[in-house]
Structure formats: C-alpha cells, structure tokens
Amino acid sequence: MPSQKETIKWVQTILAPRNLSQVETIVLDRALSGKLYREIAKETGYDAGYIKDIGSHLWLALSQKLNCNINKRNIAFMLTQFSQGNTELYQRKTQPNTTIAEFDFPGRPLPATSPLYIERPPTETLAITTLHQTGSLMRLRAPQRMGKTSLIHRLFDIAHQQEMQTVLVNVQQAEPASLNDLEQFLQWICWAISKQLNLEPKFDDYWFEGAGSKMSCTVYMQEYCLNAVDTPVVIAFDKVHTLFDYPDLASQFFSMLRYWYEQARTPGNWQKLRLILAYSIELTLGIQPHQSPFNVGISLNLPPLTRPQISELAQRYQLEQVGIETLDPLVALVGGHPYLLQLAFYWLRSGYLSLEQLLAEAPTAKGIYGEYLEQLWMILAQDKQLEQAFYQVLSSSQPIPLDAETAHRLEGLGLVQLQGLMASPPCELYRNYFLSHYSESKTCQNL
C-alpha cells in the first residue's frame, strides 16, 4: 500500500499540468487520514465551508481524470486501487459513440456543472475563497465571451451548497428609460433582488422621497432584503460596463455599492452581503477614488486558455481522434479564446466540417465565425474613431500605443490585447478577417 506522501505525489501526476494548491494538498492529506471537513477546518484555521468546497472540486477533478466516481468517503480506497492497477471494476464505461447532441451549442454561459468549463488557476480558488469572506467584494474583468458569467454560475452553485442565497442582476436587461432616471433604476435593482430572494417588493414601506434614491435603496437592502434572510447573500451584478455610457447614473450607483461594501465592516445585516461585479471595459468614469468600488476588494481577470488547458478542452469534446498536434493551426488562428475554441471544437466534433475546411473558411463570412465577426464589424462601423484605431493596430507588425479610453473599449470587445496601453491583435483571425473587410470597403468607396 503506498504511503500518503506517495499517493499525494501520484495525484499531482494525475492532475498535471496543473499543480495542487497548498490548501488542496492539506485537504487531500487529511482526507486520506479519515478527517472530517470540520476537523480539517479546525486544525488549519480555514472556514469549514471553504474546506468542503476545495475538497468537492478536487474530487470532481480526479473523477474526470480517472473516469470514475471519487468522493471523500472513498478517496483512500479508490486511489489505492488505481495505484495498484485495479481499475476495471470501478471505472465508468465510456461511450465512444457519444453524439454532438450531448453538447450545447456554444454561445451561452455554461451551466455550473458543465464538463466543458476549464478552470484557469488560481482564479477559481481565489474566487471561492473570497465568496466565503464576510462582506467581500469581487471584481471579474475580462473581454466579452471569456467566461465571466460561467464563473458566476459555478460560484453560485458552491454558494447553494453552503446554503447561501444568490442573486444575479444582469444590468444589460434594464429598460433604457430607467438608465436615464436614478430612482427608476434603483427601484428596478431592488425589485430584481427582492424577487430572487422570494420577497414581495415593498417600496411604500421603505422608500422615502425626502431621503433620496440612494439612501432609500440602501435602507431597503439593509432593513428589508438582508433582514429577511438568515444566511449570506451573494449578489452578482453582471455586465456593469453597460452603465459606463450613463456616467451620472453610474457614479451614483457605484458610490452606493462602495458604501454597502464599507458597511459590511461593521456588525449587522451588511455582513451577510457578498458582492460580485462583472464587466468587460475598464472604468473611465470621473468618480472619486474613495467612492469607487473598483479599487477595493479583489480583482480577478480571466486570461485566455493556455495550451494545456486547450488540450483539456479538446479532450472533453472527445477530439482525441483528431490529435491535439493537428490543432496547432487552429490555436495559431484563434489563440486561447474560450468561445472561439468551443465553436471550433463543436463543429469538429459534429463531423460537419474537417479541420482543413474550418481553417480555410474561418476568416470569411461563410465560416463558423462569420456571424460573430460581422457583429464586431457593425460595432466598429458605428464609431469611426474606434474603427480607425483598430485598423492601425491590425496594420502594424508591432504593438502600438492608444489612448486609454480607446484601448479599453477595444479590449472590452476582445479585439486587442494590452500591455499597458500598447495594443496588438489577440489572434490572427481578427487580422485576416478585418483587414480583408477594410480592403473591400476601400475598394467599394473608390468605385
């Protein structure tokens, strides 16, 4: 029988290329000794819920790698069996004829339990840790379609396991009229929160005109919503960059959130609150630093997938028969963009397109990225200054400097990658497609 030290080393080999975190190593070591989660928490000083989450994610990762059901109760026995090669009775039988119908078409946020979600350490571990901190604030910033909402879904799943309440407010769903009226907007926010907490909105009882909209909203949250629940409440405001086009309203709303965050440092209902802000564009509002929620809490970025993570995603799409080495041209074309990769892997898995055909058509209107690229083209066409700046980036073989607002807007669309304010295309797909479009547009103008 292997020692615990040998078993932990073997687990590290199974999960490679990612490394076990220090907390994962502690949980695995104690679990192999038969310790309960609450005992591990007491010994290490971590929150028991956090320890349980770390363990759950670790068992899931091992289950996927070993193709069997691994949990805390059977971890010692199962790893011993695998280390000795006794796996036949325990492995789940794979279905080599899995059809593409079992995969959702890419484009929507992934469900919490989706096997297609690829973790990007240490982002998820830091996010889970923050979720368990009293009065925490988490900022998720990444270009569009990089997985922010999918990560929120996974965090909500963990929160539900710990009997926390969750609320997701997609700011993009607010009516245009409310974005020009602070009181309407804040009442819409309160309505959305109330409904998801299964509370009947009661504006007449808590909204006082003489106190102002922000104070009324704050009292509503403290004395009604948070007072009505006994467990922590995780509120995620998604796509808050939508508000950046309404600077007056945004300044008032964000300063209120900063106040909520600061109130959670004092005993009372506010300590139940955990805030998540998800956005694509760096804030350029003229808001005072002491009123901004964008310089407090923890900031987490979702980077492109690394090569090992791309290989893992290809395996989960069951593309082993394609051979990861043959995907090199695709990776060179789209980089580590999760959505672009998922779309390619979906069509390759379907058998509808060969890799050669997919690559040949990719930078054209009839390729699998045609609709997505056309949407980006239409956005650029509405802002000539933005369009011109992007053309300069595409035309240069080296990163070029951009002003802060332009750089962050292009980054938010996923069209550039930044080092400071030096911009370059994140992948060759954009260079090939958009330069072709610019050339065609110029030709048409000269006719």
Task: Tell me, yes or no, whether 221 and 282 share the same domain.
Answer: yes
Q: How much is the average pLDDT of 96-109?
A: 69
Q: How much is the average pLDDT of 268-281?
A: 95
- In this predicted structure, the answer to whether residue 225 has a pLDDT above a threshold of 90 is yes
**Is residue 339 a part of any domain in this protein?**
no
pLDDT in tens, 366-384: 999 999 999 999 999 999 9
The answer to whether 20 and 62 have CB atoms below 8 angstroms apart is no
Q: How much is the average pLDDT of 190-205?
A: 94
Task: Tell me, yes or no, whether 142 and 267 share the same domain.
Answer: yes
- The pLDDT of residue 28 is 87
Task: Tell me, yes or no, whether 189 and 277 share the same domain.
Answer: yes
Higher pLDDT, 41 or 391: 391
**Is residue 109 a part of any domain in this protein?**
no
Task: Tell me, yes or no, whether 154 and 272 share the same domain.
Answer: yes
Task: Tell me, yes or no, whether 168 and 297 share the same domain.
Answer: yes
Domain boundary (301, 316, 349) is at 301
Higher pLDDT, 442 or 398: 398
**CATH code of 68's domain:** 1.10.10
Task: Tell me, yes or no, whether 58 and 181 share the same domain.
Answer: no
Q: How much is the average pLDDT of 348-352?
A: 88
Residue 103 pLDDT class (50, 70, 90 cuts): confident
Domain boundary (273, 301, 329) is at 301
For the chain, what percent of residues have pLDDT higher than 70?
A: 89
Task: Tell me, yes or no, whether 440 and 383 share the same domain.
Answer: yes
**Is residue 337 a part of any domain in this protein?**
no
**Is residue 227 a part of any domain in this protein?**
yes
- The pLDDT of residue 325 is 65
Task: Tell me, yes or no, whether 141 and 278 share the same domain.
Answer: yes
Task: Give me the domain span that covers residue 289.
Answer: 123-301
Nearest to 269 by CA among 226, 301, 228, 308: 226
**Is residue 351 a part of any domain in this protein?**
no
What lies within 8 Å, CB to CB, of 428 at 6+ separation is 332, 333
pLDDT in tens, 89-101: 344 333 434 455 5
Torsion sign across C-alpha atoms 345, 350, 355, 359 = negative
Residue 188 pLDDT class (50, 70, 90 cuts): very high
Q: 169 — phi, psi (to 5°)? A: -115, 110
- In this predicted structure, the answer to whether residue 445 has a pLDDT above a threshold of 70 is no
- The pLDDT of residue 34 is 83
Nearest to 69 by CA among 89, 42, 46, 39: 89
- The pLDDT of residue 305 is 96
**CATH code of 146's domain:** 3.40.50.300
Task: Tell me, yes or no, whether 138 and 88 share the same domain.
Answer: no
pLDDT in tens, 126-178: 999 999 999 999 999 999 999 999 999 999 999 988 889 999 999 999 999 99
**Is residue 292 a part of any domain in this protein?**
yes
pLDDT in tens, 327-343: 889 999 999 999 999 99
Task: Tell me, yes or no, whether 263 and 152 share the same domain.
Answer: yes
Task: Tell me, yes or no, whether 152 and 257 share the same domain.
Answer: yes
pTM here is: 0.78
**Is residue 177 a part of any domain in this protein?**
yes
Provide the domain count of the chain.
3
- The pLDDT of residue 89 is 38
The two three-digit tokens of residue 17, written as one number? 């290329």
- In this predicted structure, the answer to whether residue 185 has a pLDDT above a threshold of 70 is yes
- The pLDDT of residue 447 is 32
Task: Tell me, yes or no, whether 222 and 286 share the same domain.
Answer: yes
**Is residue 154 a part of any domain in this protein?**
yes
- The pLDDT of residue 153 is 94
Q: Amino acid letter at 92?
A: R
Domain boundary (266, 301, 336) is at 301
